[in-house]
Structure 1
């Protein structure tokens, strides 16, 4: 029996018996269908290490490069198991600072350009590079930085979007324990992303985020 691994750019989740895939390189969500979907559902129905499907059952995903037989750079072939956030971090109401506003304006513009011209992998690359220099912040520092971001963001005339604002906020917080979570819903289909730290939501409303099933939890 072959060992199967998910390629670094492939993630998936299960919603009502359907497999939803995410291709980071193509910035594309899609439904996995046919024998590949059946094989992944059987995998998720079993305990870890059991019900491992034969590679032939996943030949479509193997051909597309989403599943691999080589462990190098990949991870075990399993759905995203992110637990839903349990609470939201509240931030202090602060006055905007000029330097914060200038920094955010620059980062928002650069990140917006990356979103418009590249893949999700391209958008996440600055986060991956910065992560090695980040430390775990105490909660007081995290709240203060979150408050500074929220104070300065309204003065920048760029439309808000979940990916743009979450990616820039991640860099602004500089906290190695923060996760960028991507989620989807299928009725109707929609995708969303947000930031969490240890199960606590940072930049959204709990009731809204809970509509989405996590498909990827990104922490470099």
Structure 2
């Protein structure tokens, strides 16, 4: 999902008053410097509101901004009713999850291929909205330690090159999170954006540790959605 193009929309003028509204449930905002990046999860499309970062603040699905700005957003179809509590971004990762030396692990290997058979082989036919719906299904409370998550991640790293079909960050994160959830664990799936040049990226985290990436690499991205 990196280097995905995004559209620019109406610019915003500054004002001093503040009011509160809620984003439409399928939209996500991220303030990046003076701009606001918008992700529409129904279409997997990004757009930009130039200058909006100077006049509004984002708290999950809540927008705090001058009423004229909210009116512009309302007219543009950005606002709706409260969609309930959204997942909060985890702390910025400060370390990569330490992975054990890859070894033959029959349980982890079996779990990997089962997860790939269920999800990896049909990835190309799935929309972002469909993937998110799968990962938002309730799961039991996590029963895996960080060490157990690291063991599964190490098996994933070893086996992924042998799986038919490959993909970028979205594919890897979807498949690895499926593997971990199938084993009874859970990790945060973080989507981030940067601008000038624009790019989008996603990664998995447990606490302050990034599973499938490096802290320095993801540090340049501002979280826009967390699953």
TM-score above 0.5: yes
Q: TM-score range by the shorter chain?
A: 0.7 to 0.9
Structure 2 stretches of 5 or more lacking a match? 1-17
Counterpart mapping for 1:85-100 below 5 A: 85-92=93-100, 93-95=102-104, 97=106, 99-100=110-111
Mapped to 2, the partners of 1:185 and 1:3 lie a distance apart of: 26
Residue of 134, 145, 150 corresponding to 1:138: 145
Deviations 1:75-121 (A, max 9, x none): 59xxx76542111112221236553453243121123320xxx2x22
Distance 1:2 1:213, change over 3 A: closer
Note closer, same or farther for the CA distance 1:138–1:101 as it changes in structure 2 (3 Å cut). closer
1:134 Cα offset (Å): 4.9
Alignment: residue pair count:
200
Name the structure 2 match of 1:44.
57
The alpha-carbon deviation at position 53 of structure 1 amounts to: 2.7
The aligned residue for residue 47 of structure 2 is: 30
Q: Do structure 1's residue 126 and structure 2's residue 143 form an aligned pair?
A: no
1:20 alignment partner, SS class: strand
Deviations 1:103-153 (A, max 9, x none): 243121123320xxx2x2222111112x42352421222112112212221
Asked if residue 201 in structure 1 is aligned to residue 216 in structure 2, the reply is no
Task: Label 1:21 to 1:159 Cα distance change in 2 as closer, same or farther (>3 A).
Answer: same
For residues 8-49 of structure 1, give each alpha carbon's deviation from its aligned partner in whole angstroms, at most 9, with x where no partner exists. Answer: 221111222111111111111110147xx2xx533339x9xx
Unaligned runs of 5+ in 1: none
Please say if residues 116 and 175 of structure 2, whose CA atoms lie closer than 8 Å, have aligned partners that are also in contact. no
TM-score (normalizing by structure 2) = 0.76
Any conservation in 2 of the 1:104–1:153 contact (CA below 8 Å)?
no
CA RMSD, Structure 1 to Structure 2 (Å)? 2.8
List aligned pairs for 1:183-194, cutoff 5 A. Answer: 183-194=192-203
Change (3 A) 1:136 1:43: farther
For 1:2 and 1:16, locate their aligned partners in 2 and report how far apart those are by CA, in whole Å.
Answer: 21
Aligned positions of 1:174-185 closer than 5 A: 174=181, 177-185=186-194
Contact 2:89 2:190 (C-alpha < 8 Å) held by counterparts = no
Deviations, residues 138-189 of structure 1 (Å, cap 9, x unaligned): 1222112112212221111312310011011111111554110011111211
Alignment check: 8 A CA contact 1:180 1:194 kept: yes
Hey, what does 1:102 align to over in structure 2?
113
Q: 1:58 aligns with which of 70, 82, 87?
A: 70
Give, in whole Å, the separation in 1 of the partners of 2:37 and 2:185.
Answer: 28
Q: Which runs of 4+ in 1 moved over 6 A?
A: none
SS in 2 for 1:171: helix
